[in-house]
Amino acid sequence: MKKVYYYVIGSVALVSVAVGATWIYAANGEVQNNNNVIEATGSVHAKLSNRYEKIGAFIDAIENANEAILSFLNTIRDARIAFAEAVEAQNYVAAREEADIIDASFTELVFTMEDNPASYQTVNLYAGFMAEFSASTNAVTYSIETFNSHVNIYNTFIQTFPNVIFLSNKTPYKIWALTNYNSTLPTFN
């Protein structure tokens, strides 16, 4: 009789230790992976802010802008302010929406500039804009890809067994779409 007790207590203890260890692993892993995603989010925002700041300087240099360009510039200006405010308030969903607006307008602006060579001062300014636009696009793309790979690791971690048992209340992150960044950019030459 006593032997059976020992077996039962031993089995329960073993199972408890296993469950406890898995729980700790899941909880710690979630925190670690979540921190990586947060850090990558910050990096994307920093790259976007940097891009908007640099390209904003060129936009100021555009002269004799026609109506179409002026409308892009107004959209970009408003969205830049909204983006900065959203990042400040840590409202990342809104920040992403504003970033999408700005970057879509940037791409449109580049195409329009190509069609309206009179809207910028010199060839150097145009070439410089293209270089900066392309380089900052590459930098943003790189940081978004890093962000997405962290999101992928996080989502897989919380959705796979046995972690899913303990982390069912966690929401998977959304992958950051590269719609406005991976299109083929106009070439200069």
Partner 1 sequence: MKIKKFFGLGVIFASFLLGSCSNETLFARSNAFYINDQAEALLSSTKYLIYHYSSELYEKDSRNEQYKTQKIDGAQIVVATHIGEPSSINTTEIFNNWGIGENDMGLLLMLHFAPNPQDKYSPTYIGMTREIGKKLSGYLSMFRLEEIFINTWENPMFDTVHIKDHDYKLAFFYIAILEEIYTKIYTHVDFDSEALMDSYDRNQYNLYTDLIPQGYRNEVFFDWWVWLLIALGGLSLLGSGGFWMMFVSSGKSFKSGGGGKSGGYKYTR
Which residues contact partner 1 (rule: CB under 8 A)? 43, 47, 54, 58, 123-124, 127-132, 134-136, 138-139, 141-143, 187-189
Closer Cβ to partner 1, 54 or 170, answer by number: 54
Is the CB of 169 or the CB of 189 nearer to partner 1? 189
Find the radius of gyration of the CA atoms of the chain: 25
Closer of 26 and 144 to partner 1 (Cβ) = 144
Contact 129, 55 (CB under 8 A): yes
Q: What's the closest the beta carbon of residue 41 comes to partner 1, in angstroms?
A: 15
Q: How far is the CB of 62 from partner 1 (least distance, A)?
A: 14
State in angstroms the smallest separation of the CB of 186 from partner 1.
11
Q: How far is the CB of 163 from partner 1 (least distance, A)?
A: 26
What is the Cα–Cα distance from 51 to 1, expressed in whole angstroms? 75
Q: Within 62-171, where are the H helices?
A: 67-88, 92-115, 123-159, 163-166
Least spacing, CB of residue 72 vs partner 1, in Å:
19
Element housing 40 (H / E): helix 2-61
Largest alpha-carbon pair distance within the chain? 97
The secondary structure of residue 180, as a DSSP letter, is T
Nearer to partner 1 (CB atom), residue 101 or residue 144: 144
The answer to whether the CB of 139 falls within 8 A of the CB of 53 is: no
To 10 degrees, what angle do helices 123-159 and 92-115 make?
Answer: 150
The residue behind tokens 């067994």 is 161
Judged by beta carbon, residue 9 or residue 57, the one nearer partner 1 is 57
